Chains A and B, each alone.
Chain A
Amino acid sequence: MKKLIGSIALSLAMVFAVGAASAAEKLKIGFIYVGPIGDHGWSYQHDQGRLAIEKAFGDKVETVYVEKVAEGPDAERAIERLARKGAGLIFTTSFGFMEPTLKVAKRFPKVKFEHATGYKQSKNVATYNARFYEGRYIIGQIAAKMSKSGTAGYIASFPIPEVVMGINSFILGAQTINPNFKLKVIWVNSWFDPGKEADAAKVLIGQGADIITQHTDSTAPLQIAADKGAMGFGQASNMIKFAPKAQLTSIVDNWAPYYVRRVRAVLDGTWTSSNTWDGLTQGTVEMAPYTNMPADVAAMAKKTQAMITSGKLHPFTGPLYKQDGSMALAAGKVMDDGTLSGMNWYVKGIDGNLPK
């Protein structure tokens, strides 16, 4: 027994000694994920960004992450734990981490924070997001070309501006091909819930949708679409291996360029708080290969992609009408970012009402 206690004490002492020796110098970078990194969607892509940092900076950095952090009181502790463990830069990768991030940032003024999809900055909290709506415009066009029933189904998470603008962008793209294109939306009120997402996909297909798209993170809707003979789009990552015959393309979040840039800024001492909203142009939004579609549809998609990337085309260009028919944006005008990021109304042509 004595021997056992002795060996425990010894190994503890060794742990401390090793910990103290290697901690210095390296920049420790923390990540908070809302889902499991195995979701093959949102959190998975953020984790790919983390791996890109490790690859780019090697020994100069050390990364650590906490997955499946609930957007609630436990988030604050998880973030604070990373700050206390000596992280110099912390990425909190979900909207619901906004308040906890700001609270912890106030207590750790020397630590730099990056909050994804939020709208509140502070001296040491920067925000960043991607213009996913650009990709949604393209997939809207593809959907209208590929659909036989003229109806698509959309599995949405929360009715926040981010999601609403995606739905609007999708239908605007579709309307350029088929002005009478129909879109049915189901809200599952979760970012990641394979069971609910799958049920929603089944309902939508049952209601006549033959194209399924989603603003949720699991691969379930696409897999259901594949099972039921419908087509669909991947979300956040290239999900082609989950539906090789049914995925048309996928809007891929590529956080690596931004993450590498921000880490470099911290290492160089040039980091400042900012609000970044990159899209196709900067490579933060990417389109997976256009598959399972005729060549002319793929060509059209590529052309639209090129026009958005070069800045020739903005999905939200007037004239735009709200669902009730009132004018939202005059002809020829391009919507400004402020209006976009506060969007809480449907454009004309969408079935159903925004949950109030």
Chain B
Amino acid sequence: MMLILEKRSEQSRAMTFLSPILAIGLTVVIGGFIFAGLGLDPFKALYIYFIEPMTSLWSIEELVVKAAPLILIGAGLAICYTANVWNIGAEGQLTIGALFGSAIPVYFTAWQSPLTLVLMLVLGAIGGALFGAIPALLKNRFGANEILTSLMLVYVAQLLLDWLVRGHWRDPKGFNFPQSVPFEGWQLLPLLGEGRVHMGAILAVIAVFILWVMMSRSLRGFEIRVIGSSPRAGAFAGFSQKRVVLFCFMLSGGLAGLAGICEVAGPSGQLQPTISPGYGFTAIIVAFLGRLNPIGVLFAGVLLAISYLGGEAAQVELGISDKTAQVFQGMLLFFILACDTLIHYRIKFAPGRGAAGAA
């Protein structure tokens, strides 16, 4: 007796939409058991983890600060993955975007004009897009696997950042700490309200809207869908797979770069050796949880932001490890992929040795 996965001839549409909700539910239930296993009241713990971050204006603002980059990156990745293009290197594109944009305050420290900020944002997006173009070109020209190349380029980007902030770009007045000059005035994103919410949040919503329109109303969106589900059919329709690969990588890279410069010109206010707690990777979960739909990504981004803040709140209130957030994020991705698999496949018991073709 052994288990095999058999492809379902038809997928339930309802389940496709229910899958993320199911995954969230499973995560919460298992999370409750984990809390109970730690000797905590699971209801109190889950309340602190998932609900409390939404009970005060301050933490809602912090939620927005955290969600904005996740949404920006996640929306771009959603398009990529729809086209069957696997950009795993958003973290690297974010880093390069931050570097491109930061060149302005680092080299033209005294330049203060609204144009400063605009140029920083544009450069950030360009930097991310160019860096994203590398794995796309490698794939198109040499057939290199983009999952590997984009992931490996993350380390290249991070080491470049590290080298710059410890060397040429270090603040001369910073007591030799590895930090760039602190950004000031128009080198920073304008704040919305009293807290730390910055313009990046608006950019994220605008990006989501534009991408949603593009995917649902434009020929380009149709092209991406067709290439994603059947490259051969796309080719007959005159769509170029290579063009789609390049477009998707540059689009998602550009958005990641924009998120990067928004982080640096927002909550950070300067370049540091690490500028992101792994937003580029968490955004992969966001994209899947959001069903590869830009609007869905908006909600998924908020949920993942809650998992970050909840982890911190749990540390303060319950005295448990800071690793909790990662456990929850991991469970969430695991369950959503598991649910998706079971939507596409059914489990069958097969007698004897494994049949060929078991996935």
Instruction: Identify the A interface with B (CB < 8 A).
Output: 7-8, 11-12, 15, 64, 66-68, 70-74, 76-78, 80-82, 84-85, 95-96, 99, 158-161, 189, 344, 354-355
Contact = CB atoms under 8 A, between A and B. Distances in A.
Contact of B44 (A15, A189, A354): A15
A51 B305 CA distance: 32
Q: Closest 8 CB pairs between A and B?
A: A73-B267, A159-B176, A11-B43, A73-B268, A160-B175, A15-B44, A68-B322, A160-B176
Contacts of B322: 66-68
B272 A72 contact: yes
Interface of B: 41, 43-44, 47, 56, 58, 62, 166, 175-178, 182, 196, 263, 266-269, 272-275, 277, 309, 312-313, 315-317, 319, 322
A73 B176 contact: no
A66 B316 contact: yes
B58 A70 contact: no
A344 B177 CA distance: 12
A74 B176 contact: no
Contacts of A76: 196, 267
Nearest to A354: B176
B177 A160 contact: yes
Contacts of A72: 268, 272, 274-275
A161 B174 CA distance: 11
12 contacts: A12-B43, A15-B44, A64-B316, A70-B274, A70-B277, A76-B267, A77-B309, A81-B316, A95-B177, A99-B182, A344-B176, A354-B176
Contacts of B62: 77
Contacts of A160: 175-177
The majority secondary structure among interface residues of chain A is: helix
A73 B316 contact: no
B43 A8 contact: yes
Contacts of B275: 72
Contacts of A96: 177
A7 B41 CA distance: 12
B316 A85 contact: yes
B195 to A, nearest CB: 9
Nearest to A107: B194
A77 B58 CA distance: 10
B312 A77 contact: yes
Given A11-B44, A70-B274, A161 B175 contact: yes
A244 B232 CA distance: 69
Of the listed residues B178, B263, B309, the one surrounded by the most CB atoms of chain A closer than 10 A to its CB is: B178
A8 B176 CA distance: 52
A84 B196 CA distance: 15
B176 A158 contact: yes
Given A12-B43, A67-B315, A67-B322, 18 more contacts: A12-B47, A15-B44, A68-B322, A70-B274, A70-B277, A73-B266, A77-B312, A81-B316, A82-B316, A84-B58, A95-B177, A96-B177, A158-B176, A159-B176, A160-B176, A189-B178, A355-B166, A355-B176
Contacts of B196: 76-77
Contacts of B317: 85
A354 B196 CA distance: 37
